[in-house]
Each structure stands twice: as structure tokens, then as C-alpha cells.
Amino acid sequence: MKDFAGRVAVITGAGSGFGREFARIGAKLGMRLALADVQADALAATVAELQGQGATVFGERTDVSKAEDVERLGARTVDAYGAAHLVFNNAGVAVGGLAWENSVRDWEWVLGVNLMGVVHGVRVFTPILLAQDEPTHIVNTSSVAGLINAQMMATYNASKHAVVSLSETLYHDLRLVGSKVGVTVLCPAFVPTGINQSERNRPADMSNDAPMTASQAALKAQLDKAVSSGKISAAQVAEMTFDAVREDRFYVVTHDRMMPSIELRMQDVVQRRNPTDPFTYKPDVAAKAR
């Protein structure tokens, strides 16, 4: 997909972070925008900003973990624009701590947003893209946590690995039927996006009755520091992602310094050895995460 002017972009998690930057680039390219977020005020702010710049845009409050919400977003997009061309399944949340200390609600919330949000986006929008029989594209936001397994991030790692797996399978399935739909999986490391503050949008029925454990509090502090000190901006990641769409490139790994850790894990699998600490070759990263 190389032509963007007049095309329709659908973006979840558009109220902040990568989603907002995708929307800003889409507006500059002359795209018509269907924006979604669970946080109504943040979504409204993004819509108002882009409308002020003359963009054609609407916002739809959407909880991507709910099938009916994503189905409503798809219906409104087709009703408003008659098509969709570039779909960003981007909304994401995070919790951490030792694997056995995560509650059922932790798992349900993180998997509901990070995995099922992508599942619903693929299920709703892929048939729309296929029916148009023209170059279109799906971008699924995973994480470098979809390629390696850092300590104390079981729920997040599991959700993001599943997004990579879904995206790779989707790519193969679309090639199998000879479609013109491209697929990209975005795998960023620490970027100042606000994901470390995702608890602000956690539904009341998914909240924990017990206070955070020591491991959960420790990881929260580490992530706050790591995310806020990220050297690559959300805007830069968004530009990388649009470049990947233009080039029909599947993997977007935003931080080159993570590649040795990714390779290390792959070698663990190939050599059938026990998992290696992902920061073995990255002492600077491990130090910053402490």
C-alpha cells in the first residue's frame, strides 16, 4: 500500500501514544480517519486536534476487548466512508509482577485488550479489506515482549507473543488466498507512550481487591522509569510503521539494541537449551530496568 490520500485509516488506541501519532500522520497524508479509544476525553482531544487541521475524522468510544464494540466501529466506518484501507489494531495495556502473583482479573484484562482486541479487529476488518480487492494493510501492535520473555511480565509477554503468532498466521492465510492485504507487526521496546499508566482505563470489574504485591510494585517503578526515559519517540515509531506499510514489510523492531536479545532467544530454541536471561548481552538495559 503506497497511496494514502483519500484512503480510510482505522486506529484503535487513538487517544494517546502510537495511536495518536498514527492518526496525525494519516491526517497529514490526507487520509480519512476512524479513531477509537476507551478513554473518551483523550479520544475527543485527538479528534478535535485533527478536525482543527481540516482532517475528515470521527471518534468512536471503543473497548476493544468487547466484540460488539469493535463490530460497531466497523459498521460506523463503512457507513461513514464506505471502505477501510489501513487498520491499526493498536490498543494495549500492561500489568507485571511474578507470574504466579497475577490475578485472574489481571489475565482477563490484559488478554482481553492486547490479544482479543487484535482478534476482534482482524475478524471485523479483514473481510472488509478482502472485499475491496485492492492494496490494503493491517498493522497489529505487539511489542519486543512478543519476541523475548523478560522477567516479571508473564501476562504482557503472553499477550504480545500471541499477537505475533496471530499476525504471522494472518500473513500466511492472506497469501494462501492470493489477497492484496498486507500485514505488519509492530514490536517496539520502551517508548514514552503512557502504557505504564494504563491502569487509568482499567474497568472497575477488572480491578483487584488486594493491593499490589512487592514484585508488582517493583516492576511498576521499573517500567515508569524505562518508559519515561525512552530515547525513541512515539512519533518516530509511527513514521517507521508507515514506512513498513509502504514497503510491505512485516516485522518492525524499533530498537536495534534489542536484536541480540531476540537472536539469543531464537538460538535457545534452535539449540534446545534452557532459556537464557534476555538481558545477558544487554547489561545497560538490565541496569536501567533495576
Residues identified as active-site:
156
Q: Nearest to residue 238, comparing CAs of 13, 3, 5?
A: 13
Instruction: With beta carbons less than 8 A apart as the criterion, state whether 212 and 280 touch.
Output: no
In angstroms, the CA 53 to CA 33 distance is 13
- Cβ–Cβ contacts within 10 Å for residue 113, how many? 26
In angstroms, the CA 153 to CA 138 distance is 26
Half-sphere exposure in the Cβ direction for 255 (13 Å, CA): 21
* Phi, psi of 162, deg, nearest 5: -65, -35
Instruction: With beta carbons less than 8 A apart as the criterion, state whether 27 and 2 touch.
Output: no
The continuous run of DSSP H or E covering 272 comes out as: none
In angstroms, the CA 48 to CA 54 distance is 10
Q: Which are the contacts of 214, defined by CB distance < 8 A and separation ≥ 6?
A: none
Alpha carbon separation from 100 to 107, 213, 248 (Å, rounded): 11, 11, 40
